[in-house]
Chains A and B, each alone.
Chain A
Amino acid sequence: MQEVIIAINPGSTSIRMALFNWDEVISEETVSHPIDELAVFDNVADQFDLRMKNVNSWLAGQNLEENKVVAIAGRGAPLRPLEEGVYAINQRMLADLRSMRYSNHASNLGAIIADHLSKRFNVPAVIVEPVTIDNFTDFARVSGVLGIERRCRSHALNIKEVGRREAKKHGKTIRDSNYVVAHMGGGISVAAMKKGLIVDVNDALLGMGPFSPNRAGALPIGPLVHLAYSGKYTEKSLTTMLSRESGLQAYLGETDVRKVEERIAAGDEKAALYYDAMIYQIAKEIGYCAAVLKGRLDGILLTGGMAKSKRLTGALREYVSFLGEVVVHAGEYEMSALAAGAIKVLKGEETPKEY
């Protein structure tokens, strides 16, 4: 049997797993977890046993020869601000993840599960381009309010992979290209990527930028403050509202853009209005990033699940094509980006950084 890299990518309600023979995918599976089973855990890290059961039963069905596993790559969660690249999983990282030091997101389990499997198979485990790789310029960090800093958090794994692939198409590398990349999934990250580095991005979770299927983006600050003091919310309930119950979910009771598009096709004008408003905000955010790059960009790359929608990418093109060539990379390349990170380490092209 071939040499195998195991890639693990936990999401909030599912886990994606894949086996790669180097850069070739052998097998890939997404297992959903019933929400009520997950909801009992306050700390995502405590879902470990539950999730491992699914991981193990999937692995058991893969005819895996244990001695052929050469590396494990896990999705990187929000950690402290980091340089780009591949990171070895160490005790400090695991402690930060288990104690929810920077977030309580499902991706915390990426490194925890990868570490567990690495011990079982006795092979190296890494995380690749975690959410908090941070190459903000000093200007980008300034919010306008002392005590509040803008943070560099993004779907970096896919954003950088999309940039790499696009550059390669033109016989270039990410290091000699500038892109605006819009990753459009449950959260939306619009990044200015200068020579491969994310120098500005909206921060899709409780940051700024466009609203998404269920998250709020930037909001008028006066009304937001008013809401906070209205007595209707606790800090936790307002944060939950802004991070899970806003956007299309709040306006239309729907987060699945395919269903929203079905409603639009059936003549639902309200659905069309809010869907178009989301697109409008994404387009404006792309504008922000084009200015950050001073207009010197090699393309505007649209990626993530929503980039599969022709209606959405068509409308975005109408807004922003004057700024540069719009290229669609529908879906995402997270699993192969994880494998690619492990491969670089195995080949000795990159030394994993210590957290």
Chain B
Amino acid sequence: MDQVVIVINPGSTSTKMALFCGEKRLAQEAVSHPADELRVFENVADQFNLRMKNIDDWLTAQGIEQKKVVAVAGRGARLRPLKSGIYRINENMLNDLRTMRYSNHAGNLGAIIADHLGRRYNVPAIIVDPITLDDFPEIAKISGVPEIERVCRSHALNIREVSRLEAQKLGKKLEQCNFVTVHMGGGISVAAVAHGRIVDVNDALLGMGPFSVERAGAVPIGALVKMAFSGKYTEQQLIHKLSHESGLKGYLGENDLRKVEQMIDDGDEKAALYYGAMIYQIAREICAMTVVLKGRFERIILTGGMAKSERLVAALKEYIAFLGDIAVVPGEFEMEALAAGAVRVLDGSETPNDY
């Protein structure tokens, strides 16, 4: 009988599910939930029954009764800042998620669903590397203004998994290596990963760093203050603009990187300018993170969906090749990372933490 790990990764309009046997993916599926079905719930946690029905249907279709479930891994939501690693799901955590203590994002359901399945199959249920970590040394938390703290918020799950895989290729453990790992998706996280800890990262959502296909990164502060007081925006509108209507979307009206590349191929000089500027900003951020590591790192890793673009990777390399080796690992490996976390708990190579 197959020993399987169930992996659950809820997004805002869909739920990704997978079955892994060790590192091998047996099945994976993303079920979309109609937006109007979800909208009736003010608290994301109340979508539980709706989403569970889809999950149960899928598990049944996979013949889950004929398999031996050994663990369940859920996507970690925003919780209180935690050291990176694996966390057992406990009542404390579930309570914070159900009461929306730190956020009301679909990710909250990751632990809630994993806990439910863990009880059903009487196996351990865990989350791995939640979004907000407490990995920063004090020095990286300081912004320059006492009212504002820099936070370690990033695509930590993928960043640490890709870094771990790269360490393995070097015949080392993640804890023995330093990397600058760059996750380039809808948001862009450029992380200094020192011995497995994310000791600095830009914070891709309303933080700093490069702009992305639709998000602003760092901008001149005086101009931003002026915009806030211009009377043209409510706080919510400005936040929306900065997180959804900026970057390539703001300049070109397009947030699909492939389409922007097509525009460039068609001779659109404006598209070439803003595309180039985004790469310029990513390159700057990468070099800054190598400084955080004082130049002592094994390699720079480019990952996420945008790393699939050969054009982008080549342009980026022009700026940063002088810094050292560059590994390109396109795509993202969140499901694999969740399964691998469960496997490490099962084989005893990593002890889960308590929340």
Contacts and interface: CB of A to CB of B under 8 A. Distances in A.
Nearest to A215: B144
Chain A interface main SS type: helix
Interface stretch (A171-179, A314-322, A326-334): A314-322
Interface stretch (B3-11, B68-76, B114-122, B134-142): B134-142
A288 B206 contact: no
Interface in A223-276: 223-229, 234-235, 238-239, 241-243, 246-247, 250-251, 273-274, 276
Contacts, number: 228
B301 interface: no
Nearest to B242: A221
Chain B interface main SS type: helix
Nearest to B228: A228
B318 A294 contact: yes
A136 to B, nearest CB: 11
B282 to A, nearest CB: 9
Contact of A284 (B223, B288, B296): B288
A207 B250 contact: no
A287 B287 contact: yes
B250 A225 contact: no
A242 B225 contact: yes
A132 to B, nearest CB: 14
Interface in A128-155: 138-140, 142-151
Interface of A: 138-140, 142-151, 203, 205-208, 210-211, 215-229, 234-235, 238-239, 241-243, 246-247, 250-251, 273-274, 276-278, 280-281, 283-288, 290-292, 294-296, 318-323
B192 to A, nearest CB: 10
Given A288-B288, A291-B283, A145 B250 contact: yes
B131 interface: no
Interface stretch (B12-20, B146-154, B256-264, B342-350): B146-154
B333 interface: no
Contact residues on B (Cβ < 8 Å of other chain), bracket: 35 or more
- Could you say which of A208, A216, A222, A296 has the most chain B C-beta atoms within 10 Å of its C-beta? A222
A212 to B, nearest CB: 8
A294 B142 contact: no
Interface stretch (B45-53, B212-220, B302-310): B212-220
A233 to B, nearest CB: 9
Nearest to B251: A146
Contacts of A215: 144
B273 A139 contact: yes
A319 B276 CA distance: 28
A148 B216 CA distance: 11
Nearest to B223: A148
B146 to A, nearest CB: 5
Given A203-B220, A211-B144, A273-B142, A322 B242 contact: no
A292 B147 CA distance: 31
16 contacts: A138-B273, A139-B280, A211-B145, A217-B144, A218-B221, A219-B148, A221-B216, A221-B217, A225-B239, A227-B148, A229-B234, A284-B288, A285-B288, A292-B284, A318-B294, A321-B295
Contact of A222 (B207, B277, B281): B207
Contacts of A207: 220-222
